[in-house]
Structure 1
Amino acid sequence: MTQIDIKVASSEILEKYFIGNELPLEAPVETWINYEREEKGMDVKMKSFCHLLFYSKLGSQLFDSINLDLDGSCCLIGTTILTAVRIAVDPLTEVVYSENPDRNFLKSNNFSYGIVVVGELPYSESVGDSTNLTIAEPGYDTITNVCEYVKCVVIIMSGRPVVIEPYLPKMEALVAAWLPGTEGQGVSDVLFGDYGFTGKLARTWFKTVDQLPMNVGDPHYDPLFPFGYGLTTIPIERKATQ
């Protein structure tokens, strides 16, 4: 049994966030989280005085996750790509989220654009060994369902190139986000033009797994995206001044 006791130093607002409400912050809020765990019938109290500083952005900021390591030694604040998108768009823009949108869902809504986030399941070392290098289901179905009905950008979160070539013609744009960590706002920053895309592929992106292994200089080098490939975009502000 895990219990998290939240104590807010200067405001009770934070507690509301933990029951699903927005967190409107007018100033930094310092909080301490006490972590208490029961293990093997024995009460094991491990207090982690994680000093969390929350800062407001335009009067409101949303954080998606506050996690504690099992030993209670670390706190982690994370912003998902979904929350980052909601922060980035105009307040009058409606952001509709669906974990697994089907075609009827797309047909019944008049969407302007679609942002599809797919990728691999978490793994480490040999647990992630794969002979097919595909993304997790229902990733490919989601790409097909969304991109056939609305202009879409597909964001792939993975630790390596994965099979995507058959679905590329359906997309308006493809972003290899790799493993962006806890800060989804880094993805939305380039997606919405606050910063430009500058990244280049550090390895060849194959068309099919049958081509592997494949490296620059091979006699039959025919990748989907070659080593060093990557579009460069100009931030919106700088573009407007040119």
Structure 2
Amino acid sequence: MKVCITHIFHNCFVLDAGTSSYVFDIPAKRFRTGRAFEALQKTIADQDVTVFFTHSHLDHFAPDYVEVCSTAKSLKAVISDDIEEMYPELSFRNALIVEPDEKYSYGDVEIETLMSNDLGVAFIFKTREGLKVYNGGDLACWDWETASPAERNFTRIFFEEAVNRIADRQVQIAFSNVDRRLQNLAGGPQFIDKVQPQVFVPTHAFGRTQWLEGIHEKLGLDKERCFIYRRPGDSMCFEVDISRKGQ
């Protein structure tokens, strides 16, 4: 199965797969450059779109997402419940509100949510074609040196348990945080080693993408399995075998 992934900004990407397009974590206007806005509208034009929002932090959620996605042929949204609580004035029409650690059917997509160790949820979903995708939002191994030993230990255990669960779901495409501020890259290498996705997309770059060049080597990943991007609108296509798990 051919899939194409387009980088928009930070944790926002478009996944074109089968007959549908899936968009993740469109950021609020203060985090969107004109180029990112144009890249998103162009990529989703005339497509049936489902947009996933993992949590309410503005680098991951655009309150004006309906307007931003106005070029889409159709639009549905899957939204973490903390967003509904944060923005009670929004109507969230054509939206599924989700809670952590639950399972849902929404249209032709089967969705499972995981509790994040930051805010909101992470998503595992399966398309009608059988493609299995993970998008982590801000779920990561946030092992900050300034944290207490107890906090760091909790973070490591939480992340390990989450990664084991994701690995059990045999996802083929994974979007997960790789943060250069942390020596452990927010758990990126650990995630790759355990989950073994066929395609991996490093996220959480805040637009500072130059350092991603060569990141596949630090992750222990073949270059052709890693989406390395520089600017909004950069895209790459992959052949994914939906009959088998990850690698």
Q: Give the structure-2-normalised TM-score.
A: 0.34
Higher strand share: 2
**Structure with greater contact order relative to length (CA < 8 Å, sep ≥ 6):** 2
Q: Give the structure-1-normalised TM-score.
A: 0.34
Higher helix share: 2
